[in-house]
């Protein structure tokens, strides 16, 4: 648990004790805000007001399971907003590899009634409204929550922003496509309930954030991993147009998650339900949530990360186009920051490899083009194979980012790229390096020594990263060495030290060409 989150909980315990009469001293009322549905009361800690567990939509339960979110019901009196709401249904998180507790523990009970958001805002606010950052968590569209400890927005908010963290439906609850669901939908589509949740949350923010001191016309959506893929999808989603003014996609590359077309996703969903012995969607809605969660096929992980079973769907309406094939068709013309970690390769394959396992991985992923990739990435011994496993995963991200940025430039909007190279401290720092998700605590300032041996240099990097992201959220021009990704040898800004430095996006241009040729021949560079 982060020190900041521990502080919130200590404040909550004290407040509840006073409310229940456990203390002879009357409790001081927490900060109150009136939102569209009624009044809420949060808590104040270390100069930041927190309003936690605010419903932004009606509970998607019963007959509302697998339907578009609806506006929350109003309430009377003052609703407590001092504790996070339930996290959306998912498997119990299990730390693995470098992803220890702070990265995966949702710190909340699981429930279908989970469409909550958290708001952090400075307690002492001046007359000028603050920029807003809406955080979309990662987790492969199947896990995570706004309550994960590293997403505590207090320290980021203390630097002069309103920070909002949102939950959205996950897995089968958020992304099941099925012919019956499409037939009953007014939109005649299914499968993007999680994306619709995000759009509903952004609408709530647009309507209410000024009451927390935020600028409703200066909202930056930001996400990491699957959250970054969601950011890219929201850029292409017509219903999200006008709900944000900038976007930050961290470790989401440029080509999304390889979304299925609606027809394929419906066939996949129908087969899955049929194999589970369920006769209809009506019957499926009557099952308890834990029984629904258990419906899944067996997945072979031996060849690396497979295509996600439940993820956004190209339905022609909510998500009109595959991000990987979007070209310059973007619904939202806003500036974008996008980048990746130096050792992203860990998430694209195992952290170590032999020549044989590396070759098998490349052949499985790149098919007929495998020989060119094998020639570009030496793998004569275990050390070479392990290094190449990391590099090919990282370069895949970077190549997709470069191509996506070029398409975005055709639409007249700049994309600023970065490489985060600081190895994340810990007992496995040499093994995992700057691994996937490792930069998130630096963004939020949730560098807790009880988790990892963070030092003063880490805090300087964290402060610099926060300042750069907030400047972007305010609409300011990013200082040198930041520059739009463009040209034949595109450059990105290397983060991890203070000050940042410019570097070539992919150190070996011939490798970039291999990826470009692969895509030109019909290959795909989606995350999974």
Tell me whether residue 291 is in a domain: yes
**Through-space distance between the first and last CA atoms of the chain, rounded to whole angstroms:** 31
Note the pLDDT of residue 301.
Answer: 40
Note the pLDDT of residue 331.
Answer: 73
Distance separating alpha carbons of residues 276 and 268, to the nearest angstrom: 12
Tell me whether residue 229 is in a domain: yes
SS3 call for 339: strand
Distance separating alpha carbons of residues 490 and 93, to the nearest angstrom: 38
The CA angle 523-526-528, to the nearest 5 degrees, is 110
Catalytic residue annotation: 225, 344, 436
Tell me whether residue 526 is in a domain: no
Distance separating alpha carbons of residues 141 and 225, to the nearest angstrom: 9
Distance separating alpha carbons of residues 153 and 162, to the nearest angstrom: 9
Tell me whether residue 221 is in a domain: yes
The pLDDT tens digits of the residues spanning 423-474 come to 999 888 888 889 889 999 999 999 987 789 999 999 999 999 999 999 999 9
How far, CA to CA in Å, does 41 sit from each of 15, 161, 212, 361, 372?
A: 11, 20, 12, 52, 60
Length of the chain measured in residues: 528
The pLDDT tens digits of the residues spanning 56-93 come to 999 999 999 999 999 999 999 999 999 999 999 999 87
Tell me whether residue 52 is in a domain: yes
Note the pLDDT of residue 324.
Answer: 65
Tell me whether residue 475 is in a domain: yes
DSSP secondary structure code for residue 79 in this structure:
E
* β 43-45/48-55 pair status: antiparallel
Distance separating alpha carbons of residues 167 and 193, to the nearest angstrom: 12
Average pLDDT over residues 272-282: 94
Instruction: Write the CATH number for 173.
Output: 3.40.50.1820
Q: Which domain holds residue 115?
A: 31-520
Tell me whether residue 11 is in a domain: no
Distance separating alpha carbons of residues 497 and 464, to the nearest angstrom: 9
Tell me whether residue 58 is in a domain: yes
The pLDDT tens digits of the residues spanning 147-190 come to 999 999 999 999 999 999 999 999 999 999 999 999 999 999 99
Number of domains in the chain: 1
């Amino acid at each position: 648990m982060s020190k900041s989150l521990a502080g919130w909980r200590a404040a909550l315990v004290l407040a509840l004790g006073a409310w229940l009469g456990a203390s002879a001293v009357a409790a001081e009322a927490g900060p109150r805000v009136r939102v569209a549905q009624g009044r809420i009361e949060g808590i104040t800690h270390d100069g930041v007001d927190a309003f936690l567990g605010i419903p932004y939509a009606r509970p998607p339960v019963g007959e509302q399971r697998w339907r578009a979110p609806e506006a929350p019901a109003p309430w009377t009196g003052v609703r407590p907003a001092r504790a996070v709401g339930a996290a959306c249904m998912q498997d119990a998180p299990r730390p693995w590899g470098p992803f220890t507790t702070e990265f995966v523990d949702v710190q909340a009970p699981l429930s279908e009634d989970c469409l909550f958001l958290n708001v952090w805002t400075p307690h002492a606010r001046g007359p000028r409204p603050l920029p807003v950052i809406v955080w979309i968590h990662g987790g492969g569209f199947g896990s995570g929550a706004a309550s994960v400890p590293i997403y505590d927005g207090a320290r980021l908010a203390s630097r002069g922003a309103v920070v909002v963290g949102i939950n959205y439906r996950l897995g089968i609850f958020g992304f099941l496509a099925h012919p019956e669901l499409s037939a009953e939908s007014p939109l005649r589509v299914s499968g993007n309930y999680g994306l619709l949740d995000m759009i509903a949350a952004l609408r709530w923010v647009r309507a209410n954030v000024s009451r927390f001191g935020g600028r409703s016309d200066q909202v930056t959506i930001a996400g990491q991993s699957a959250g970054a893929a969601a950011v890219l999808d929201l850029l292409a989603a017509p219903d999200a147009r006008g709900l944000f003014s900038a976007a930050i996609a961290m470790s989401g590359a440029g080509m999304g998650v390889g979304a299925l077309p609606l027809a394929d996703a419906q066939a996949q969903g129908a087969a899955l339900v049929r194999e589970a012995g369920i006769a209809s969607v009506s019957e499926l809605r009557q099952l308890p949530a834990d029984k629904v969660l258990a419906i899944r096929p067996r997945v072979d992980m031996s060849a690396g990360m497979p295509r996600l079973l439940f993820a956004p769907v190209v339905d022609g309406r909510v998500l009109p186009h595959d991000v990987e094939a979007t070209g310059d068709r973007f619904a939202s013309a806003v500036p974008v920051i996008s980048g990746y970690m130096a050792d992203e390769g860990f998430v694209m394959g195992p952290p170590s490899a032999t020549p044989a396992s590396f070759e098998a991985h490349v052949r499985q992923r790149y098919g007929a083009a495998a020989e060119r990739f094998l020639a570009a990435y030496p793998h004569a011994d275990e050390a070479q194979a392990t290094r190449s496993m990391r590099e090919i995963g990282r370069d895949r991200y970077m190549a997709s980012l470069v191509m996506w940025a070029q398409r975005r430039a055709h639409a007249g909007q700049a994309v600023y790229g970065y490489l985060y190279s600081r190895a994340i401290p810990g007992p496995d720092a040499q093994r995992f390096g700057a691994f996937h998700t490792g930069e998130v605590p630096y963004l939020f300032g949730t560098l807790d020594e009880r988790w990892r041996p963070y030092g003063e240099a880490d805090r300087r990097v964290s402060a610099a990263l926060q300042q750069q992201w907030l400047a972007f959220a305010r609409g300011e021009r990013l200082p040198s060495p930041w520059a739009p990704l463009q040209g034949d040898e595109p450059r990105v800004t290397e983060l991890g030290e203070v000050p940042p430095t410019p570097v070539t996006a992919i150190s070996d241009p011939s490798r970039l060409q291999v990826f470009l040729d692969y895509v030109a021949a019909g290959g795909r560079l989606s995350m999974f």
